[in-house]
A and B are shown apart, each in its own frame.
Chain A
Amino acid sequence: MQIPKIPLGEGIEYIINFLVDHCAFATKAMSVGLEAGLDVLEDGMLLIPPYIFIPVAAALAWYLSKSKRTGLLTLFGLLLIWNIGLWKATVSTIALVLIATLIAIIIGVPLGIGAAMSRHMHKTVMPILDVMQTMPAFVYLIPAIPFFGLGKVAAIFSTVIFAMPPAIRLTCLGIKQVPGELTECAEAFGSNRWQRLFKLELPLATPTIMAGVNQTVMLALSMVVIAAMIGAKGLGGEVWKAIQRLQMGNGFEAGIGIVIVAMILDRVLQRIGKRKTETR
C-alpha cells in the first residue's frame, strides 16, 4: 500500500494564488509607485556625471570612515568601474541596494525592538527568521513575480525578505545584551518602558544594530545580483547575461564591480559602527 503524498506544495500554491487573486491589485499598484520612485532615484544619480560623482563619493567615504584608504579604494574602484563601462549598471545596483536596505531597516529594526520587549513576539518572530534565512534565496523570486510583476520591485521585495533577518536579530540581541544591572537601575529611578528603551537600551545597542545593518547591506547586495533573474538589471543583470552567453570576461568584470561596491559599503558602514562604540 502506498502512503499518499501530503499536498504541501499544492497547499502553499493555493494560499499564494489566493493571496495573488485578492491582493495583487494592491501590490501591483504599489509596484508601479515604487518603480517610479526607484527610477527617479536612479535617473537622478545618473544625471550627475561620473567625473563629479566619483570624487564626491570618495570624499564622502573618506569623511564617513575617517580613513584615507577607504577614500582611495572608493576613488579608484569607481574609476575602474566607469572605465570598464559598467557605470550605469553599478548605479542601478546601488540604488536597488539602498532602497531595499532602507525598507529592510524600517521594518526590521522595529520588529527587533518588539522581539526584545515582548516574549510572545520573540517566540513568533524567531522561527520565521530561521525559515527566512535557510530557505534558498531563489525561492523568494517565484512569488515575487505574481505580486509585483517582473522587474525591479519584485527584486526589491525578495531582497528585503532575504536581507532583513540580521537587522531584526541583531537589534533584538543588542537590546537584550544591555546588562541587567543597568536596566534595573533605570527601573529603580522610575523609568517607564519607553524611557528605558530610548535613554538606555537603544544607545547601548547601537553598535550591535549597526553590525546588523552592515550585514543587511551585504545580503541585499548579494540578493540584488540573484534577483537579476527576475529582471532587476544592474551589475547582476550583466552577470546573468554573461552566464547565458558564456562570456567569461564580461562575467568577471561585472563580478569585480560587485566586489568593489561591496567593499566600499562594508568599510564605510563598519567604521561608522566602530566610531559609535568608541565614543561610548
Chain B
Amino acid sequence: MSKIVVENLYKIFGPTPDKAMRMLSSGATKADIMEKTKHGVGVNNVSFSVEEGELVVVMGLSGSGKSTLVRCINRLIEPTAGSVFIDGTNVTKLDAGGLRKLRQEKLGMVFQNFALFPHRTVAQNAEYGLEIAGVPADIRRKKAIQALEVVGLSGWEDQLPAQLSGGMQQRVGLARALALDPDILLMDEAFSALDPLIRRDMQDELINLQQQMHKTIVFISHDLDEALKLGDRIVLMKDGEIIQVGTPEDILTSPADDYVARFVENADISQVLTAESVMKKSEAAAFLKTDGPRAALRKMRTNAIYRLFALDEEHRVVGVLSADGCRDLLTQGEKDLRKAMIPDPITVTPETPANELIQIIHDLPYPLAVVNEDKKLKGVIVRGMLLAALAEGGNIDADS
C-alpha cells in the first residue's frame, strides 16, 4: 500500500470556490477563472502516490502550486476538494485533534526559510515537536541531541539560531523534523535559500541520511538539477496541474510535453558530457583466465559493488558477473566463471554523449561498460553516477 495517496486534489483560493470549481470542471483555465471570478487556482485535480521509503520531488516554477500541494498533505492549507490518504487514513476527514496527532506522530516538515524559533536555543528548537506532543523533558532532550548529532550539529545545542550560518540553521530545521522520528518528511524548498555550494553539501547529506533512514520524503523544488539528483521519482507541476510523473530518466528521455522539454533543456548538459567524463575509471574486473568465483566475490567486496565485468586474456570485455551468480558457482563447486556470466554486455565508446547514455542505461540490469575500439575496458557507468554527473555538471556550468 502506498504511504501517501493524493486523489483528485483541488485548492482554490477565494471566498466562494464553488463557482470556480464548476468552471474548472467545464474546462476553464486558471487564467480564465482568475479573470472572471478573481479566484486563484492553486492545485487543479492532482493525483499521485508516494511509496514507503521513496523520495519524491515535486518540481515546478514558482506559482505552479507545488508549495500549496505539500501544505494540503498536512492540511496547513485546507484543500477545496479531493482526498489525501496517509497510511490509509483520510487526512481530509480528520478533526482538529486527529490532525494534530497525525502531525505530531507522522509528519515532519522542513521549511524554505528555516522557520526556526528565534527565542529558543538550537536544542529547544529541535525538541519543539516532542514538547508539543507532551514527551517528558529528559527524553525529548535526549532525542533532540541525537537528532542534532545526526545532522552534524553536536556542540551547538545551547546557541541561538541567529548565531548560526544559513546551512547550519537548516540543519537545525532538519533536526527538528527528525527528532520526532516521523514516517514522512515534507521538505518545502528546503535547500533553496542556501548558497549553491552549501546546497550541494546538504543534498549529498540528505541522500546519505536517506540511505540509512528510509523515510518517505516529499521534497519540493524549483530546481531540476536538485530534482534529478535527489528524486526516486519526480512530479512535474505547472499551473496547479501535474504534467508528468516519472523517474529522472523518464523526465530526461521522454518529456511529456514542450513545457517539460524546455525545462529539461535548460538544465540539460547531457549534450556536453560524454561517457568518458561520466565513467568511473579504476573499476575492478575479473580475469576469466585466472580468477575463480571466490576471487571475483572478493573483488566485489573490496570495491563494494555487486557486479563485475569479465575480461578475456586480451583484457576485452566479454561478460558481466553478478554476486549471486558467483555465490551459486561456489555452492556448486564450479570454478569456471563463464558458467555464471551474462555474455556480450552492451558497451559504449568513450565519446558517446550523455543523452544517448541515458537511453541506453535506462533499463539495463547491469552497469554500462565503456570500452575503446579494441573492446578494452576503460571505465564503468552506473545509473546513479550518470544522474549525479548531469546534476552536478549543470551546477558547474551555471557557476562558471
Contact = CB atoms under 8 A, between A and B. Distances in A.
A binds B: yes
A204 interface: yes
A188 B102 CA distance: 10
Contacts of A203: 119
Interface string A89-114: 00000000000000000000000000
Interface residues of B, number: 26
A219 B55 CA distance: 59
B274 interface: no
A192 to B, nearest CB: 6
A225 B359 CA distance: 87
B119 A185 contact: no
A200 B74 CA distance: 20
B103 A190 contact: yes
Candidate in A179, A189, A200 with the most chain B CB atoms within 10 angstroms: A189
B362 interface: no
A191 B109 CA distance: 13
B113 A181 contact: yes
Contacts, number: 56
B76 A195 contact: no
A280 B118 contact: yes
A184 B113 CA distance: 12
A280 B117 CA distance: 10
B75 to A, nearest CB: 9
A188 B107 contact: yes
Contacts of B103: 187-190
Number of chain A interface residues as a range = 10 to 19
A191 B101 CA distance: 9
A69 interface: no
B81 interface: no
B117 A200 contact: yes
A199 interface: yes
Contacts of A188: 74, 76, 103, 107, 109, 186
A26 interface: no
B132 A189 contact: yes
A191 B76 CA distance: 12
Contacts of A243: none
A182 interface: yes
A85 B118 CA distance: 49
Contacts of A181: 111, 113, 115
B118 A204 contact: yes
B104 A189 contact: yes
Interface string B107-128: 1010101010111000000001
A260 B305 CA distance: 82
Contacts of B128: 186, 189, 199
Interface string B86-109: 000000000010011111100101
A41 B101 CA distance: 50
B119 A280 contact: yes
Contacts of A199: 128, 131-132
Contact of B109 (A179, A189, A280): A189
Candidate in B103, B160, B176, B180 with the most chain A CB atoms within 10 angstroms: B103
A207 to B, nearest CB: 10
Interface string A240-280: 00000000000000000000000000000000000000001
Contacts of B76: 184, 187-188
A182 B107 contact: no
Nearest to B106: A190
Interface string B147-182: 000000000000010000000000000001000100
A178 to B, nearest CB: 10
Contacts of B99: 190
B115 A190 contact: no
A190 B132 contact: yes
A182 B115 contact: yes
Given A185-B111, A195-B132, A199-B131, A190 B101 contact: yes
B358 interface: no
Contacts of B240: none
A154 B107 CA distance: 56
Interface in B198-219: none
Given A181-B111, A185-B109, A191 B132 contact: yes
Contacts of B101: 190
Contacts of B133: 190
B255 interface: no
B319 interface: no
Nearest to B125: A185
A192 B100 contact: yes
Contact of B129 (A179, A190, A200, A204): A190
Nearest to B124: A199
A105 to B, nearest CB: 21
Candidate in B102, B109, B132, B133 with the most chain A CB atoms within 10 angstroms: B132
Contact of A190 (B104, B119, B176): B104
Interface in B62-87: 74, 76
A185 B161 CA distance: 15
Interface of A: 179, 181-182, 184-192, 195, 199-200, 203-204, 280
8 contacts: A179-B115, A184-B111, A186-B128, A186-B132, A187-B76, A187-B103, A188-B74, A189-B103
8 tightest Cβ-Cβ pairs between the two chains A and B? A190-B103, A190-B104, A185-B115, A188-B109, A190-B100, A189-B129, A181-B115, A280-B119
Given A181-B115, A188-B74, 13 more contacts: A181-B111, A182-B115, A185-B111, A187-B76, A188-B109, A189-B129, A189-B176, A189-B180, A195-B132, A199-B128, A203-B119, A204-B117, A204-B119
